[in-house]
Amino acid sequence: MGATEVTVKMHMRAFCKKLGARNRAHAAMISRERALL
């Protein structure tokens, strides 16, 4: 089962929005601070 690039981008956009992140790097930083990773 493969995910298309568009699907991955849509999921990342939703994830960033939920975290209030500006981009993927910011989302990773927030996730680490909140012990989500």
Per-residue pLDDT tens over the stretch 1-37:
688 999 999 999 999 999 999 999 999 999 999 998 7
Separation between Cα atoms, residue 12 and residue 37, nearest integer Å: 15
Provide the residue range defining the domain that includes 28: 1-37
Give the Å distances, CA to CA, from 36 to 21, 24, 25, 31, 32: 14, 14, 14, 5, 6
**pLDDT given at position 37:** 72
Q: What is the domain count for the chain?
A: 1
Count, residues in the chain:
37
pTM for the predicted model, two decimal places: 0.71
